[in-house]
Structure 1
Amino acid sequence: MYTSVQEKRKIPMREKHLLWKALLVIYLCSYSVNSNGQGTQAYDPEKTYTAPTDNQVKAKLSQWQDLKFGLFMHWGTYSQWGIVESWSLCPEDYPFTKRTGPYADNWFVYKQAYENLQTTFNPTHFHPEKWADAAKAAGMRYVIFTTKHHDGFCMFDSKYTDYKITSTKTPFSSNPRSNISLEIFNAFRKKDFMTGAYFSKPDWHSEDYWWSYFPPKDRHQSYDKKLYPERWQRFCDFTYHQIEELMTGYGKLDLLWLDGSWAGMDMAPIVGMARQHQPGLLVVDRHGAPEYVNYLTPEQKIPDHYIPVPWETCMTMGRSWSYVEKENYKPARQLIQMLTDIVAKNGNLLLNIGPGPEGDWHEAAYQRLADIGKWMQTNAESIYGTKPFAPYRQDKFAFTKNEKARYVSYLPAEKEMILPATLSFPLTDINHKSHIALLGATQPLKWEFTGDVVTVSIPETVQQQLAGEAVWVFKIN
């Protein structure tokens, strides 16, 4: 078709250039790459979100929105190699699928060696109470754990596969706490966390997904499901039953966090079953049908504007979702500012830490959480249970409120360690009877307002007292 058009009318070079530029823009708008290089569908919340109608789900969603800050953990046999979770198995040519090591040159040998990691996985330093304590002290209030990633290895005791943490092939199976998912959920529930199960719909270990008769070419099933409907139905049943195991044998679960939208399957029976066992369950079928996406999940990025629907940024504390031996964690100052920024835009922050092969975090991860917790001890009231108010985010200011007060948070520049002597910010509905204070300081502040702008004077003693804070929070009663 394109050739025949060219024959009828020779396209000038400038028009060709504009055509290709337009096509590129269309492509980039429909597909984006996150900071790990992994492709994700474009994030367009206003057009895709559908609010739930189930009253129990609505109530749970409102409760979840008030929590603001959660812990994500990617963990599996891959931690032994310190590589990206699952993706090195995927025969696609992206930076995040690159294979390394002695088996890298042969995909079949590599996959066999990768799956053989099951036989050496023995995280004997696993004590989930230590994680729950650290997360609680940091101000986290919900947890999402990877019960199964794309590689298919189950971190729970599934009876539908032997590729699991509790298999006799896995050394850790002899440990009394071998059912890792159950142990994590129990430990965090005891600390009053909402608990959620991450579950990958694709399963690259399953013969009914990557059928060895047809070697895989990409992340999708390796065969035409229309030509082999019985095999595909078998895989759908397998997925259904594994999720049912999680919904029935792991205590009260609040969230089902589903990944791998490219494994298209009918979600109605899965979600119906899950909510029958777990009434009010929040379901996040990422990039799936809107009715099964109770909140949106931008990955490794923070939207640049207020979003009126529920959403959550999932972000790594370091560079990777999975464990790497020499991790470079974001400074606590940056993480606190990210949380403040997200909450002022109506979102939650789900911060990921990858446990290591022995069953613990890097010491630096604990330190980051401790530093966040120290800030939260003073400023948590500007985070939990708040709602944003206009202008939401403006310049260095973030705006949140609850029924009792409004909060204006000042996010300083990287090297800005002292509050300015005076600060001005927009604020309506204020009068001479209002009271403005800085959280963490007892000394009263002088202020004045002109029109819709408030100017606050900060005494030098207060400047010194609160020097070095990641975010300074003004409270207006």
Structure 2
Amino acid sequence: MVRFPLLKIAALAGFAGWSFITASAGAQTQASHESAVAAQVSRVQRSTTTAKPFAANWDSLAGYRTPAWFQDAKFGIFIHWGVYSVPAFANEWYSRNMYVAGNKAYEHHIATYGLQSKFGYKDFIPMFRAEHFDANAWVDLFQKAGARYVVPVGEHCDGFAMYASDVTPWNAKAMGPHRDIVGELATATRAHGLRFGVSSHTAEHWWWYGLGRTFDSDVRAMNSTPTNGLPPTSLLYGPASPRNLPAADGTADDRKEPDPDHLERWVPPSQDFLNEWLAKSTEVVDKYHPDFMYFDWWIGQPAFKPMLQQFAAYYYDRGAERHEQPVLTYKQESMPANVATLDIERGKLDTLRLLPWQTDTSVSIHSWGYAEHDEYRTAKSLVHQLVDTVSKNGNLLLNVGPKADGTIPEEARTVLLQIGDWLRVNGESIYGTRPFTVFGEGPTKAAKNATEKNNDIQSYTAQDIRFTASHGTKEPLLYATLLGWPSQSETVIHTLFAGNPYLPGAVCAADLVGGKSNLNFQQRPDGMHVTMPSSTEGLGDIAYVLRIHTHCK
């Protein structure tokens, strides 16, 4: 028997939510959409042909340098929020998986909402009301957590834009909450003195709804003309391409996952889709002037290469016009290392990287968006990841997934505030620092190139120590962060042995940040021996920072 939640019943009652769609969105046709895309792409191409300082080629873009503001910030907040927070089931891939026969989301959807031909993903939009969304309250929480930049998802793979788009009518200003979510967050973030960014996952939209074409669903039945006051559903669900290139025998089973590390084996996007991707991406730049832009992994598909060059040149040149230095991230090998900033999803590096980089992970373990019954990481594990990342010249972008009503889950709020409590005491070892010659020491090792494999959760010991160095301060300082409290009264930092040639001088003093000053210590051939306080009272149970001086008067 199909069961219908009260929320669904309210939405189905004459589809009252659709009656509030803006007239301009409801009237948009395929032709007007194509015209908007063409106009934006033409604007970008004219600009990247003549603008300075960057041109749309890798050689010119190699002049880019990651700005100091990003290297100083260290910690940001990522926000996965969209229509997928309404079903709140399993993870943020619900919009795709509800059309994948055999997937638990497919079965859940039929049991909970009915057949996909009768109730499709688009029908969640009137239920996405965001009635309790308060951008200022969100950013106030993020600032208390210690974040220095905020990055909402502008458009996820589902094709629903969370901003007031002129390119797609399927956006949060025209329907659903009827609010420019990205715009409100941009205003609130900057009012709090933080940097603002936007992420785009539009590249994956090329194939996102492809399996919806294989059975009786509203994806198969999508229309290309306005119907019943709604814009063409093809502008939400299309192109719905298959993913697999035909096999040697001329067949391709799209239910079989193609190799995510060999995107050249996937069906390449059409030029029309690439133009739409460029139009949407640069529209965000024009409307919100983001300090930071994040692209998901599928931009690594070879067909995106010329578009990435055009986008990067356009984005960097617009920043230069405002005397700003923006940050653009890429994953894996999708861009050359010297033209943008590497991002590693739910992973880490096993050593220090000379170029700045970033890892992104989530407070929630199983989903980036809000999902009922998800599990949450501890503040301790996330601070340890932050400390490890910063010691290797990286930043941590930490995700939260708000509920459909605009509230942030209490579990996430608690973790964020606990991280903020630690950073308020120990932030001097994080913000504005640069890596020491050696990132750290201890028995716990990250897997080599532990990327994209959910390898970012590790348990550390008191012998695991991470280093950072002050930057631009009057007195050069070294920070040694212990990722556990030593079981004995003395801890040994082997890296800081007597005569270490990479120290600016002999150690002359050591303090416990937030605790006792002038700790007893000795530098010996086997390391720096430090006598620790007898108790961690007032220091918490997360991590402990030693401030090490080499220029005492």
In 1, the alpha carbon distance for the partners of 2:487 and 2:389 equals 22
Instruction: Pick one of 166, 174, 177 that aligns with 1:172.
Output: 177
CA contact (8 A) 2:99 2:106 kept: no
Aligned to 2:466: 398
For 1:62, the aligned partner's letter is: A
Q: Secondary structure at the match of 1:134?
A: helix
Q: Counterpart of 2:12?
A: none
Structure 1: distance between partners of 2:344 and 2:507? 41
State the alpha-carbon separation in 1 of the partners of residues 542 and 329 from structure 2.
Answer: 32
- 2:293 corresponds to 1:253: no
1:277 aligns with 2:318: yes
Aligned residues: 406
Partner of 2:277: 239
Cα offset, 1:193, TM superposition: 1.6
Q: 1:172 to 1:307 in 2, by over 3 A?
A: same
Give the counterpart of 2:402 among 342, 355, 360: 355
Q: How does 1:205-220 map to 2 (within 5 A)?
A: 207=234, 217=254
1:101-125 Cα offsets, whole Å, 9 max, x none, are: 2438999927961122112210111
Q: CA deviation at 1:274?
A: 2.4
Residue type at the aligned position of 1:172? P
| Residue of structure 2 equivalent to 1:27 | none
Choose from 298, 301, 310 the match for 2:344: 298
TM superposition shift of 1:313: 1.1
What is aligned with 2:488? 420
The corresponding residue for 2:423 is 376
Q: Residue 104 of structure 1 contacts residue 110 of structure 1 at CA under 8 Å; is this kept in 2?
A: no
1:315 maps onto 2:365 in alignment: no
Distance 1:97 1:248, change over 3 A: farther
Give CA-to-partner distance per residue, 1:384-416, whole Å, 9 cap, x none. Answer: 11122243121111111114200111001xxx5
Q: Does 1:465 align with 2:537?
A: yes
Match of residue 142, structure 1, among 138, 144, 149? 149
Superposed displacement of residue 154, structure 1: 0.4
Cα 1:211–1:334 change in 2 (3 A) is closer
What residue in structure 2 maps to residue 45 of structure 1? none
CA distance in 1, matches of 2:87, 2:368: 14
Cα pair 1:68 1:343 within 8 Å, conserved? yes
Q: Shift in Å at residue 433 of structure 1?
A: 6.6
Indicate the larger mover: 280-289 or 101-110.
101-110
Is residue 2:439 matched to residue 1:438? no
Q: Show the counterpart of 1:410.
A: 482
My pick for the range that moved more, 211-220 or 463-472, is: 211-220
Q: For structure 1, which segment, 126-135 or 204-213, has the greater mean C-alpha deviation from structure 2 after superposition?
A: 204-213
RMSD: 3.4
Opposite residue 417 of structure 2, the aligned amino acid is A
| Distance of 2:127 and 2:140 partners within structure 1 | 28
Q: CA deviation at 1:277?
A: 2.5
Structure 1 counterpart SS, 2:343: coil
- How has the CA–CA distance of structure 1 residues 349 and 95 changed in structure 2, closer, same or farther, with 3 Å as cutoff? farther
* Identity within the alignment, %: 26
Residue 363 of structure 2 contacts residue 398 of structure 2 at CA under 8 Å; is this kept in 1? yes
Deviation of 1:376 after TM superposition, in Å, equals: 1.1
Secondary structure of the residue aligned to 2:78 is: strand
Unaligned runs of 5+ in 1: 1-49
CA distance in 2, matches of 1:202, 1:245: 18
Instruction: Give matches, 1:56-205, under 5 Å.
Output: 57-58=64-65, 60-83=66-89, 84-86=91-93, 88-89=95-96, 99-103=106-110, 109=116, 113-167=120-174, 170-173=175-178, 178-200=179-201, 201-203=203-205, 204=208
Partners of 2:488 and 2:398 lie apart in 1 by 31
Q: CA deviation at 1:348?
A: 0.9
Give the direction of change, closer, same or farther, for the CA distance of 1:293–1:321 in structure 2 (3 Å limit).
Answer: farther
1:342 maps to: 389
**Greater mean deviation of Cα atoms: 72-81 or 107-116:** 107-116
Counterpart residue identity of residue 316, structure 2: R
Give the superposition deviation at 1:147: 0.4
Contact 2:345–2:359 (Cα < 8 Å) also in 1: yes
Q: Deviations over 1:84-140 (max 9, x none)?
A: 223551699899885342438999927961122112210111001111111111211
Say if 1:88 and 1:96, in contact at 8 Å, map to a contact too.
no
Cα offset for 1:324? 1.3
Q: Using the TM superposition, give the Cα deviation of residue 293 of structure 1 relative to its aligned residue in structure 2, in angstroms.
A: 5.7
In the alignment, is the contact (CA less than 8 A) between 2:100 and 2:106 conserved in 1? no
Instruction: Give the unaligned 5+ runs of structure 2.
Output: 1-57, 210-232, 244-253, 259-263, 443-463
SS of residue paired to 2:77:
strand
**1:6 match:** none
**1:208 touches 1:235 (CA, 8 Å); kept in 2?**
no
The 1-side partners of 2:112 and 2:414 are apart by 39
Q: What is the SS of the residue equivalent to 1:302?
A: coil
Deviates more, 1:91-100 or 1:333-342: 91-100
> C-alpha separation between the residues in 2 aligned to 1:140 and 1:346?
17
Cα offset for 1:184?
Answer: 0.8
Aligned with 1:384: secondary structure? coil
Shift of 1:255: 1.4
Corresponding residue SS for 2:311: helix
Q: SS of the counterpart of 1:239?
A: helix
Say yes or no: does 1:476 pair with 2:548.
Answer: yes
- Relative to structure 1, is the Cα distance of residues 53 and 435 closer, same or farther in structure 2, using a 3 angstrom cutoff? farther
Give how far 1:432 is off: 6.6
In the superposition, the TM-score normalised over structure 2's length comes to 0.66
Indicate the larger mover: 102-111 or 302-311.
Answer: 102-111
SS of the equivalent of 1:437 reads: strand
Write the distance in 2 (CA, Å) between the matches of 1:213 and 1:401: 49
1:370 Cα shift?
1.4
Q: TM-score w.r.t. structure 1 length? A: 0.76
